[in-house]
Structure 1
Amino acid sequence: MLARPIGFRLAAAAATLGLALSAAACGSDSDSVSASESISSETRVFAADNGDIEIPVAPQRIVATGYAVPPLIESDAPLVGISEWKRGIPLMTPEDLAEYESLEKIAGDMSAADTNYEAIARVDPDLIVIGVPQPAMVDLDLGALEAIAPVVAIGPTNPAAWSELTERQLDAVGQLDSYEANKATYDEKAAGIKEKYAGVLGSLEFGHLGAYGESAAGNFQREFAGSWGTNIAQDVGVNYYGEVKEKLGGSQDSSEYPAIENIPESFADADVITYTVEPDGSVGPEVQYVLDSELFKTLPAVRAGKVYGLRYTEAATYTSALQTLDAIDEALAPLLTESAGPSSSAPASSAPSGS
C-alpha cells in the first residue's frame, strides 16, 4: 500500500522556498520560480524496504541516516540533516568530511533509538532516507517520521550488500549517475589488482580474523566470504574458504564467533590469514587477543609468516572502497616476492603488513 500523498508535507518547504525566491525575483524570474516549484512537486513511487512510497522526483531537502549517510555525502545530494557516521570518517575525503561536519546531526550512529524527531522536523526535509538494518527499524517511530516527510527505508541485509544498497539509496535521491561513475572506477581498479595477483592467489585458501569478537567472553570473530573484512578482497581474487556452521540471517550468514579454543580447527586449512586492523594500522584489542594466543601461533599460516593486516574493511561505498583496494594491494604485496617460508622474522602479532 502506498504511503499517504506527500503534497501537504511539502507545502511548508515549498512556501518557504517561494517566499525566499519571490523576494529577489523580478520580470522573467517568476518563470524560473514556477519551473522550480513544478519540478519539486513531481512525485514517483519508489520500492523501499517499508513498501511502495510516493517520493519527490527531485528531492531538495534530504535527511539521511545509517548506511545512507556516506553515499549521499559523496554524491553531493542536497542534505539538510544526517545521523552520525563516525566509523566512516577515516575514509572521507577532506571535502566530504567538511560536509559531514557541517550538517545537522539528527541521530547518533550506534542506535536508531537515538533519533531526534524534533531536530528532523526543524530541518524541514522533503525526503527521509533510513539506512539502518531491518532489526533496528523497531526502534524508530515511523509514524512520527512520516508526518514530517516521505520515508524510504533502504537498509543493509548483509555486509557484502553495500553495492546494491548504495545503488538503491542514490536512486531514491536522483543520483544514479554518480553511482555508475564510481562503480566503473572501482571495477577498473579491482580488475587491475586482480590481474596483478592472478599468478599467486589462485591456489591459496584464505581465512579472515574479524574485529568484532569479545575477548571478555573468550571468543573471536571468524569471517567468511561476503563479510566485512572479506568482500572487497574477493573482488581482487582472494578466496576465503569455508562457511559458518549455522546460517542465522544477515551478517551471521558470513561470520561466526567460536571460542578461542577453536582457533586450530577454524584456521587449520588456511594458507594465508588476513585480519582486520584499525584505519591507522593499529591492532584493536579483540584482534590482539587472538594474535597473542599461543594457539594462534601454532597455525600453519602463522608459522609460514603469511599473516596480513587489512585496513579500511568497513568501506560501504565504491569511492571509499578504492582505499580498501589500495590497502589490500599493499598488504598482499609480499606474496608476489616471497619464496617458500616466511618473508620476515617478525611475529604475527607485530605491526601488520600495509599498516
Structure 2
Amino acid sequence: MSTTPLIRRGAALAAALLSATLVLTGCGGDDGGTGDTGDTAAKTRTVTAGNGAVEIPAAPQRVVALGNTTQPFIDIGGKPVGVTELSASELDPIPAEQKATYQAATNLGADTAQVDLEKLAGLKPDLILVQVPDSEFEGIKKQLETIAPTVYWGLDTEWKAFADGLAEAGNLTDALSGQKTQFNDKVTKIKETYRQIIADTKFVAVDRWDNSDPGTFVITDFGCIEIAADDIGLNSPKAEAGKDPLGWADLPFEQIAGLSEYDAILYPVDAAGQPKKAFAPVVESNTWKALPTVTSGHALGVFCPGNNSYGPVLQYLDSLDSALASLPAK
C-alpha cells in the first residue's frame, strides 16, 4: 500500500498550524503593500515565520522564491528574480502573465535540494522565501542565510496563513486583499445559491495519486475538498481526530461499489474537464460505470489546480460552482 505523494500545496494536515503566519512588528517603514520604494528601501522590518524572527527589507526588490513559494508568490503579484522549477501540471493552469513572470526569473534548479547556490548568490537577492520539508531546509539554511535574509514556512502551514505570510514578507498585502475579497464573495455566493443542496447532500471526494498501487483509489479529506468542507460546508467524510488522513490509504477497486452510500461523488478532472490522468483507470472500471451515483449523473468532475494560494483556489470554486449547479435540489 502506498501513501500520498508530497503535494506542493502543503501537507495533508495543513489546517493545524496558523502560528507560522508572518507578523509585521512595525520595525521600520512600510508602504502598505503598494510596491513604492521611496526612502523605505533602506529600512527594515521584522517578520516571524517557521524559522523565527527575521529582519528583512521593508520593501524588498530582489526576491528569490524557492520550493512551494514560487507559484503562490507569483500568484499575489510577486516578480521573483530567481525560482525553483514548477512542474507542467503546476504551470499549465496559471494565467499567461504569471507564466511570463515565472519564465523571466532565473531557474535555480528542479528543487531546493538541487538549487545552484552560486547562481542564487549571483542574483544578489535582498530576500529569500522558502517552503520545503523541514529536513530539506535544515540542509541549506546556513548557506541561504549567508546570501540574504531568509524566511521559511514548514509544509504544515495552513494555506491562508501561508498567503498572508508571503504577502507580508513581499510587501504585497494590497494585492492579496483583492484576492481575499474575491474568495469571500465566491464562497458567499456558492453557500447562498446551493444552500439546500449543501444541507441535504452527502458528498464524498475520491482521487488517485500518481504513485498509487495499480487497481487502487482513495477517499480523500485533504486538498481542495478541505475548502469545500470547511469554507462551503459540504458534508464529506474526514479522518477522526488523531488518525491518519483518509487520503493516505489506498483502497482496492472492489470498494468502489461502497461509494453508493453517498449522494454525490466529487472526482478530479483537468482544465478541459477530462478525468485526471492518474484517476482515469477508476472511471474506466466497470464497477465505477455501474454505480447508481454515476449513472444518475451525480458523479461530478471538479478541477483543482492547487490549494496553496488564492488564484488556483478561485479556479476551484468556479469549477465547484458549475458542478453543484448540475445537482437537483431535493
When the two structures are superposed, what TM-score results if normalisation uses the length of structure 2? Answer: 0.79
Give 3-state SS (helix, strand or coil) of 1:202's partner.
Answer: helix
Give the aligned partner of residue 90 of structure 2. 88
- Letter in structure 2 aligned against 1:308: L
- Letter in structure 2 aligned against 1:142: K
Give the aligned partner of residue 301 of structure 1. 293
1:264–1:96 Cα change, 3 Å: closer
CA contact (8 A) 2:68 2:132 kept: yes
Establish whether residue 167 from structure 1 lines up as the match of residue 164 from structure 2.
yes
CA contact (8 A) 1:228 1:313 kept: no
Establish whether residue 116 from structure 1 lines up as the match of residue 113 from structure 2.
no
Q: Distance in 2 between matches of 1:264 and 1:211?
A: 12
CA contact (8 A) 1:156 1:165 kept: no
Q: Which moved more, 1:282-291 or 1:212-221?
A: 212-221
- Cα deviation for residue 314 of structure 1 reads 1.4
Establish whether residue 48 from structure 1 lines up as the match of residue 21 from structure 2.
no
Give the aligned partner of residue 73 of structure 1. 74
Give the aligned partner of residue 62 of structure 1. 63
| Residues 115-194 of structure 1 aligned to structure 2 (within 5 Å) | 115-134=115-134, 136-138=136-138, 140-157=139-156, 161-194=158-191
Give the aligned partner of residue 19 of structure 1. none
1:75–1:168 Cα change, 3 Å: same
- Cα deviation for residue 90 of structure 1 reads 3.0
Give 3-state SS (helix, strand or coil) of 1:107's partner.
Answer: coil
Alpha-carbon deviations, 1:288-317, whole Å to 9, x = none? 222233443454423433101111341432
CA contact (8 A) 1:62 1:125 kept: yes
Structure 2 spans left out of the alignment, 5+ residues: 1-36
- Letter in structure 1 aligned against 2:96: P
| Residues 1-355 of structure 1 aligned to structure 2 (within 5 Å) | 39-86=40-87, 87-108=89-110, 111-134=111-134, 136-138=136-138, 140-157=139-156, 161-212=158-209, 214-224=211-221, 227-234=222-229, 235-243=231-239, 247-248=243-244, 253=245, 255-261=247-253, 263-264=255-256, 267-336=259-328
1:266–1:59 Cα change, 3 Å: farther
- Cα deviation for residue 137 of structure 1 reads 2.7
Give 3-state SS (helix, strand or coil) of 1:212's partner.
Answer: coil
CA contact (8 A) 1:57 1:174 kept: yes
- Cα deviation for residue 261 of structure 1 reads 4.7
Q: Which moved more, 1:61-70 or 1:77-86?
A: 77-86
1:242–1:320 Cα change, 3 Å: closer
Q: Distance in 1 between matches of 2:254 and 2:130?
A: 38
- Cα deviation for residue 217 of structure 1 reads 4.4
Q: Distance in 2 between matches of 1:262 and 1:277?
A: 22
Give 3-state SS (helix, strand or coil) of 1:280's partner.
Answer: coil
What is the identity percentage for the equivalent residue pairs of Structure 1 and Structure 2? 28
- Cα deviation for residue 336 of structure 1 reads 3.5
Q: Distance in 2 between matches of 1:292 and 1:137?
A: 41
1:75–1:305 Cα change, 3 Å: closer
CA contact (8 A) 1:244 1:256 kept: no
Alpha-carbon deviations, 1:19-50, whole Å to 9, x = none? xxxxxxxxxxxxxxxx95x5333222221112
Q: Distance in 1 between matches of 2:241 and 2:255?
A: 15
Q: Distance in 2 between matches of 1:132 and 1:211?
A: 23
Give 3-state SS (helix, strand or coil) of 1:208's partner.
Answer: strand
1:136–1:82 Cα change, 3 Å: same
Q: Distance in 1 between matches of 2:102 and 2:151?
A: 21
1:136–1:276 Cα change, 3 Å: farther
- Cα deviation for residue 287 of structure 1 reads 0.9
Q: Distance in 2 between matches of 1:219 and 1:299?
A: 16
Alpha-carbon deviations, 1:91-142, whole Å to 9, x = none? 322222211111111132xx4312121221111101100022435435x411
- Cα deviation for residue 262 of structure 1 reads 5.7
Task: Provide runs of 4+ in structure 1 moved above 6 Å.
Answer: none
User: Aligned pairs, how many?
Assistant: 292
1:215–1:132 Cα change, 3 Å: closer
- Cα deviation for residue 268 of structure 1 reads 4.7
1:95–1:67 Cα change, 3 Å: same
Alpha-carbon deviations, 1:123-181, whole Å to 9, x = none? 1101100022435435x4111111111111124316xx211111111111221222222
1:209–1:220 Cα change, 3 Å: same
Higher RCO structure, 1 or 2 (CA under 8 Å, sep 6+): 2
- Cα deviation for residue 54 of structure 1 reads 1.8
Give 3-state SS (helix, strand or coil) of 1:46's partner.
Answer: strand
- Letter in structure 2 aligned against 1:105: N
Structure 1 spans left out of the alignment, 5+ residues: 1-34, 340-355
